[in-house]
């Protein structure tokens, strides 16, 4: 039952990707979705319940806009550092405290951090995430935790946990 | 109606041009930045806004038909694969023994890594 979520999502993805309503294509899509659910179903979704709460979708949309905005800002920042003749970079790996428990939410947070220019999530050990940062703007752990993960953490918590 | 489609063409052209520009910045960074990790930043990063805006431009140009939808679906695919690849490359090169460049000012991961080695 809990795997039906993955089945539906992969089937919708197939429909979008092929964008045709021919019977042959739909049957193939069903077969492929069923197969991927069979093989990978146990890695995803520990409950379908979360998929049915509209509040989470609302926060997802809000989060998308914030993420895109942060992404654009950081893109310009990195482009500036790359093009500046003196290259004002202060790279390094910082340790960031995580407040999120569930593995899926952590994955999404790491993905968001990696996708934002200037930061790459390198590893997660226990409750710490190690992040490579191209410009470490402050030496204070609280300050850079807020800057790296704080801007996403609250939203991710609301969406996935 | 004609005005409308002109506007779409202009916006999509701007989007595609911005995308190409940011991809170019990414390539410049790949050459200029000092060590593996910073190059990785540049290679995966400028590409996010770059490639995503190219794909959005394609979507606008073709509308919600076959081609446009495929461009839209490629964005989440890119999101997941690019991030996982960047993460794997960064962790892998650290495990392989490549240290951070001379310009680096901070390395919290070192302790963790050395501990792992002793065990």
Cβ separation of A75 and B73 shorter than 8 Å? no
Is the minimum CB–CB distance between B68 and chain A shorter than 8 Å? Answer: no
Cβ pair A44, A90 in contact under 8 A: no
Closest CA to A132 of A145, A144, A143, A119: A119
Q: What is the pLDDT of residue B1?
A: 44
Question: What H or E segment, with its residue span, contains residue A130?
Answer: strand A128-133
Cβ separation of A115 and B79 shorter than 8 Å? yes
* Residue B101 predicted with pLDDT over 80: no
Q: What is the pLDDT of residue A60?
A: 86
- CA of B111: how far to CAs of A42, A95, B86, B103, in Å? 34, 11, 22, 19
| Low-confidence winner among A74-83, A111-120, B94-103 (lowest mean pLDDT) | B94-103
Comparing B107 with A6, the larger pLDDT belongs to: A6
Where helices occur in B1-119 by DSSP H, the ranges are 2-32, 36-62, 66-96, 109-118
| Distance between CA atoms of residues B111 and B91, nearest Å | 14
Token code pair at residue A110: 């790491």
Q: In total, how many domains does chain A have?
A: 2
Mean pLDDT of B15-36: 86
Q: Identify the sign of the CA torsion B20, B25, B30, B32.
A: positive
Task: Decide if A65 is inside a domain.
Answer: no
Cβ separation of A78 and B45 shorter than 8 Å? yes
Mutation site for A-interface testing, chosen from B29, B31, B72 by largest number of A Cβ within 10 Å: B29
| Low-confidence winner among A5-14, A96-105, B56-65, B98-107 (lowest mean pLDDT) | B98-107
Task: Decide if A95 is inside a domain.
Answer: yes
Q: What is the pLDDT of residue A128?
A: 79
A residues 123..142 contacting B (CB < 8 A): 123, 125, 130, 132-134, 136, 139
| Distance between CA atoms of residues B116 and B106, nearest Å | 19
Is the minimum CB–CB distance between B85 and chain A shorter than 8 Å? Answer: no
Q: Enter the DSSP assignment of A135.
A: B
Q: Which of A82, A90, A125 sits opposite B32 (nearest CB)?
A: A82
Task: Decide if A61 is inside a domain.
Answer: no
One domain, residues A91 and A154: yes
Cβ separation of B49 and A75 shorter than 8 Å? yes
Closest CA to B66 of A9, A20, A27: A20
Q: What is the pLDDT of residue B103?
A: 66
The domain spanning residue A90 has which CATH number?
3.30.1370
Range of the domain at A32: 4-43
Q: What is the pLDDT of residue A50?
A: 66
One domain, residues A95 and A38: no
Cβ separation of B37 and A78 shorter than 8 Å? no
| Low-confidence winner among A3-7, A60-64, A138-142, B111-115 (lowest mean pLDDT) | B111-115
Task: Decide if A153 is inside a domain.
Answer: yes
One domain, residues A89 and A24: no
* Mean pLDDT value across chain B: 80
Task: Decide if A150 is inside a domain.
Answer: yes
Q: What is the pLDDT of residue B100?
A: 74
Q: Tell me chain A's radius of gyration from C-alpha atoms.
A: 19
Mean pLDDT of B31-38: 81
| Distance between CA atoms of residues A34 and A3, nearest Å | 10
With tokens 């509209």, the residue in question is A54
One domain, residues A100 and A150: yes
Mutation site for A-interface testing, chosen from B45, B46, B75, B85 by largest number of A Cβ within 10 Å: B45
Cβ pair A59, A157 in contact under 8 A: no
One domain, residues A156 and A89: yes
Range of the domain at B26: 2-118
Closest CA to A29 of A1, A10, A53, A4: A10
Share of chain A above pLDDT 90, in %: 1
Mean pLDDT of B111-116: 66
Mean pLDDT of B21-26: 87
Closest CA to A70 of A151, A14, A135, A158: A151
* Mean pLDDT value across chain A: 80
Q: In total, how many domains does chain B have?
A: 1
Q: Which of B28, B29, B104 sits opposite A92 (nearest CB)?
A: B104
A residues 14..53 contacting B (CB < 8 A): 16-17, 19-20
pLDDT tens, A67-93? 888 888 888 888 888 888 877 777 888
* Residue B119 predicted with pLDDT over 60: no
If pLDDT is split at 50, 70 and 90, which confidence band does B17 have? very high
Q: Which of A95, A114, A122 sits opposite B83 (nearest CB)?
A: A114
One domain, residues A96 and A147: yes
| Distance between CA atoms of residues A134 and B45, nearest Å | 11
């Amino acid at each position: 039952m809990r795997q039906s979520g993955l089945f539906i999502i992969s089937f919708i993805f197939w429909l979008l990707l092929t964008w045709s309503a021919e019977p042959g294509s739909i049957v193939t899509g069903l077969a492929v979705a069923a197969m991927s659910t069979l093989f990978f179903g146990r890695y995803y979704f520990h409950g379908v319940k979360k998929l049915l709460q509209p509040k989470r979708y609302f926060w997802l949309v809000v989060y998308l806009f914030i993420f895109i905005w942060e992404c654009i800002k950081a893109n310009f920042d990195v482009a500036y550092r790359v093009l500046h003749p003196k290259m004002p970079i202060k790279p390094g790996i910082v340790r960031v405290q995580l407040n999120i428990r569930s593995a899926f939410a952590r994955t999404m947070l790491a993905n968001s951090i990696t996708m934002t220019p200037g930061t790459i999530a390198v590893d997660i050990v226990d409750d710490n995430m190690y992040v490579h940062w191209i410009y470490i703007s402050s030496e204070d752990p609280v300050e850079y935790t807020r800057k790296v993960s704080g801007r996403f953490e609250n939203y991710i918590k609301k969406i996935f946990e | 109606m004609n005005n409308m489609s002109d506007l779409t063409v202009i916006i999509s052209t701007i989007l595609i041009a911005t995308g190409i520009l940011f991809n170019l910045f990414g390539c410049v960074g790949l050459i200029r930045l000092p060590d593996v990790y910073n190059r990785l930043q540049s290679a995966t990063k400028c590409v996010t806004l770059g490639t995503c805006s190219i794909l959005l431009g394609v979507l606008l140009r073709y509308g919600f038909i076959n081609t446009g939808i495929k461009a839209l679906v490629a964005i989440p695919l890119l999101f997941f694969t690019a991030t996982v690849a960047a993460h794997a490359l960064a962790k892998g090169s650290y495990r392989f023994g490549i240290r951070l460049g001379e310009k680096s000012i901070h390395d919290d991961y070192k302790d963790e890594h050395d501990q792992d080695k002793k065990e």
